[in-house]
A and B are shown apart, each in its own frame.
Chain A
């Protein structure tokens, strides 16, 4: 890598600038931080019956991913091994952008989830967690007599 040619790490400076900008625009950020740019990237959505979480975590052994649900807080943790050769003098790393190391992400979920009704599957490098909402919270149509 040629990054050492820079007098300081320009990439981390840009990252810091981006965080500062986000903080400036988002006046009341979540207490767990902005979270963007973390690994794995998360898409979260909901339907009337469930909350759906998609964690973009390619190249992991599904057994090594820890999923914890405590009250309405979901945490994902694990470790991703590096594919870079270590201590090999005959190879050169030209680009190193992929995440490696241990990760831990925590997100808040809606209050009405049912922690006993969770399913998770891992396909194409995406971990999909589906948590059903509590029955009482599912909107019901009330018939008028």
Chain B
């Protein structure tokens, strides 16, 4: 497969044990890559998304309005933070990333740089 699949590689985090890895879908088409991430319990102002040295990082702290005297009896979501990083490949245009965040689902669109758009190469048959 082409080297565009670099985005699928996970970055190692130093403190992986204290964060939750949100599940993601990554879809590539001819003009770019779309990433969906499930981040339930994260409000829009707590979401941090940054691109640094070709690494896209999504993170944030959960905020649930729990009563003060709440005693938990069943806990399946047990860490207060989400974090996940992805390595972007060179032909992706990190300057033109767009994102929307709705009801706990983040959708990120990373277009391919103009020169990296696929071209159909004609084959001459002699």
Contacts and interface: CB of A to CB of B under 8 A. Distances in A.
B64 A93 contact: no
Interface residues of B, number: 40
Interface residues of A, number: 39
Contacts of A96: 25
B31 to A, nearest CB: 9
Contacts of A93: 25-27
A52 B68 CA distance: 12
Contacts of B53: none
Contacts of B76: 36, 41-43, 56
Contact of A45 (B26, B42, B43, B66): B66
A95 B10 CA distance: 11
Given A41-B76, A83-B36, A125-B105, A94 B28 contact: yes
Given A44-B74, A58-B105, A97 B42 contact: no
A91 B38 contact: no
Interface string B10-38: 00000000000001111111100100101
Contacts of B30: 90-91
B23 A44 contact: no
Contacts of B26: 93-95
B83 to A, nearest CB: 15
A128 interface: yes
Interface in A62-101: 83-85, 88, 90-99
Contacts of A122: 103
A93 B4 CA distance: 12
Interface string A28-50: 00000000100011111111101
Nearest to A1: B8
Given A58-B40, A95-B25, A97-B25, A45 B104 contact: no
Interface of A: 2, 36, 40-48, 50, 52, 54, 56-60, 83-85, 88, 90-99, 107, 122, 124-126, 128
9 contacts: A2-B1, A43-B75, A48-B69, A56-B41, A56-B77, A94-B27, A95-B25, A125-B41, A126-B104
